[in-house]
Amino acid sequence: MSEQTVRVVLVPGAWADGSSWSKVIVLLRNEGIEAVSAPIPLTSLADDVQALERTLDRVAGPVVLVGHVYAGAVIGEARHPQVRALVYVAALAPDEGETVADVFYRNEPHPLAPTLAPDSHGLIWLPRDAFASAFAQDASPEDQALAMATQRPISPACITVPVGRPRWKDIPAWYLLAEEDRMIVEKTQRFMAERMRARVHALPVDHTPGVTAPDAVVSVILEAVRGVIH
C-alpha cells in the first residue's frame, strides 16, 4: 500500500467550517495526500455523524479521520469500515454513555474562556471577542476575522446526547494536545488522551492549531497515515 492511497477526511469543530482546515489541506497536498473536509450541519450529533458518513461514502480507500474539538465526538461515532485511524486535534472524546458537555465541563474553565449559552433561536454562538481572547489567540488578526466572519452556531442537541461505544476503543488513535488551549483546558485534554491510550503529541499551541500551527497538525496526521500503511 502506498502513502498516496490513504485519504484524509477532516471534520471541523463547533463554530467553524471547512475553511478552518485550508492550511492543513494544502500542506497535505504538498505531501501527495488527498484530503477533504466533511461538511457537518452542527444541528445534532446524529445529523453530524450521518453527514460525515455521506462524505466517507465518497472517498475511496482507507481513511485517516481527523476531528477538531467537538468533531472528536463525531469521528468517534463514525462506523464506516474505511476508517483505519483517528486523529484528535485538541478534540473532545466522550466515552460510552457520556455527552460532549460532560467532558467539556469536566474541569474548571480557563479564566478567559467565554460563557456559552443558547440564543433566542436555541443556537450557541461564540461571542465576538472570544476569537481573539480564547478561540484563536495565536492567530493573525486576519485569521481571527475570517474565523469570526465564517462561524457557524452549534445546537445543544450536539453536546447533550450520550455517545455509543467510541471508535477509539477499536482502532489506533492519535491526539494533538494543545497546551495553550483556553477553550478546553490542558488537564481535560490530557485526561481524555490518556484514557483513550492515544499516541499523544503535547504542543504549546492554542485551540485552533489547524490555523495557527498547521505544520504540527500535518506532522501528527502523517504519523497516523504511516501507521495505517504499516
Sketch out the chain's domains with CATH numbers: 3-111+157-229 (3.40.50.1820)
User: How many Å apart are CA 21 and CA 33, to the nearest integer?
Assistant: 14
Strands ordered across the beta sheet of 7-11: 35-37, 7-11, 63-68, 83-89, 173-178, 199-203
Supply the pLDDT for residue 5. 87
Distance CA 228, CA 122 (A): 41
Q: What is the mean pLDDT of the chain?
A: 96
| Distance of alpha carbon 165 from alpha carbon 28, whole angstroms | 30
pLDDT digit string, tens, across residues 21-59: 999 999 999 999 999 999 999 999 999 999 999 999 999
Q: Each residue of 74-131: pLDDT tens digit?
A: 999 999 999 999 999 999 999 999 999 999 999 999 999 999 999 999 999 999 999 9
Please give the pLDDT value at position 29: 97
pLDDT, average across residues 161-175: 98
Asked if pLDDT for residue 143 goes beyond 80, the answer is yes
Q: Which residue has the higher pLDDT, 32 or 2?
A: 32
The C-alpha angle 151, 152, 158, rounded to 5 degrees, equals 135
Residue 180 neighbours by CB under 8 Å, 6+ apart = 137, 138, 204, 205, 206
Residue with cell 457557524: 152
Instruction: List all residues 6 or more positions away from 186 whose beta carbon is below 8 Å from its beta carbon.
Output: 177, 178, 179, 202
Taking 50 as the threshold, does the pLDDT of residue 3 lie above it? Answer: no
pLDDT at 72 over 90: yes
pLDDT digits (tens, 9 = 90+) for 4-19: 489 999 999 999 999 9
> In the predicted model, what is the mean pLDDT of residues 212-217?
98
